[in-house]
Amino acid sequence: MKIPFILNSEDIILDAEPDSKLLQLLRDNGIFSVKDGCKKGSCGSCTVLMDGKPVPSCIIPSAAVRHSNIETLDHFMKTQDYADIDTGFRQAGINLCGYCNAGKIFAAWSIISTDPRPAKDSVLKVARYFPCRCTDTETLASGIIMAAAARRKRISGK
C-alpha cells in the first residue's frame, strides 16, 4: 500500500506492506540512524519522533504513520534542540556508543521540551529505561539536567 507522510520535513509517499513496521520501512529507505534492536519497543534504539513524540518504530505498523510527521535522529541532529542536548551530554562526560543514541537523545528531548527545569527524580524515572553499557542511569540523568540548562540559557539567557 502507498503511505503518504512527512519524513524529516519532506512530504513523501512510500510503498509498504501494511503489517511491516516503521523501523523496516525507514531502514529499507536508507535511514540507518534507526537501529534494529529488541523489536519489542523496550531498548529505545529504534526511536523516532512521531508527531513530535518519541515512539519505538519497531512496534508501529507502517500503515499507522499515514499523514504523520516522522523525524529520525539523523535529521534531529541538525537542529539547535539537539545542540543543547549534545552540550549537556558532553558536560556530563557522556559518550554514547551509537546503538542507544536515539533512545537516550529522544528521552532527553521529551523531558527538556516539556519541563525547562526537570527534577532529578522525574529524570531518573525515564533514564532508568535506557540501560546500556556506555552510560549509567545517574550520568544520563545528569546529562539531561545539563541539557535542560543549556536549552534555558539559549532560549532565555537564564
Partner 1 sequence: MASNKTTVYYAKSLNDVLFHLKTIPQLKIYGGCTASEKLSLSSLIISKINDFLLIDKHEHFIEFGAGVTLSQILNLGRKRIPTVLYDAAETVAYPFIRNAATIGGNICAEGIHHTLYAPLLALDAQIEIQSPTSSSFIPIIKFDKVPENSMISRIHIPSEEWDIALFRRTGPENVISDASASFVFLADTSKGILSDLRIAFSGLVSIRSKELENNLIGSKLPLSDKEIQFMLIEASNEFSKSASGIQGKDDVISLLEAQFLNLLSDSFSMLTL
6 is a site residue for partner 1 (CB under 8 A): no
Using CB under 8 A as the binding criterion, the count of chain residues that bind partner 1 stands at 29
Selection from 72, 60, 62, 95 nearest residue 7 by Cα = 72
Residue type, 128: R
What residues between 53 and 112 interact with partner 1 by CB under 8 A? 53-56, 59-61, 63-64, 66-68, 103, 106-107, 110
Nearer to partner 1, 1 or 12 (CB): 1
Q: Give the shortest CB-61-to-partner 1 separation in angstroms.
A: 5
Contacts 24+ apart (CB under 8 A), 76-85: 76/49, 76/105, 76/106, 76/109, 77/33, 77/105, 80/154, 81/109, 81/113, 81/151, 82/109, 83/150, 84/112, 84/147, 84/150, 84/151, 84/154, 85/109, 85/112, 85/143, 85/144, 85/147, 85/150
- The C-alpha atoms of residue 110 and residue 113 are separated, in whole angstroms, by 6
129 part of the interface to partner 1, by CB under 8 A: yes
Binders in 10-39 for partner 1, by CB under 8 A:
17-19
| Three cell numbers, residue 10 | 519532506
Q: C-beta of 89: minimal distance to partner 1 in Å?
A: 19
Nearest-approach distance from CB 153 to partner 1, in angstroms? 25
* Smallest gap from residue 8 Cβ to partner 1 (A): 19
Q: Residue 157 Cβ, how far from partner 1 at the closest point, in Å?
A: 27
Residues binding partner 1 (CB under 8 A): 1, 17-19, 40-42, 44, 47, 50, 53-56, 59-61, 63-64, 66-68, 103, 106-107, 110, 114, 126, 129
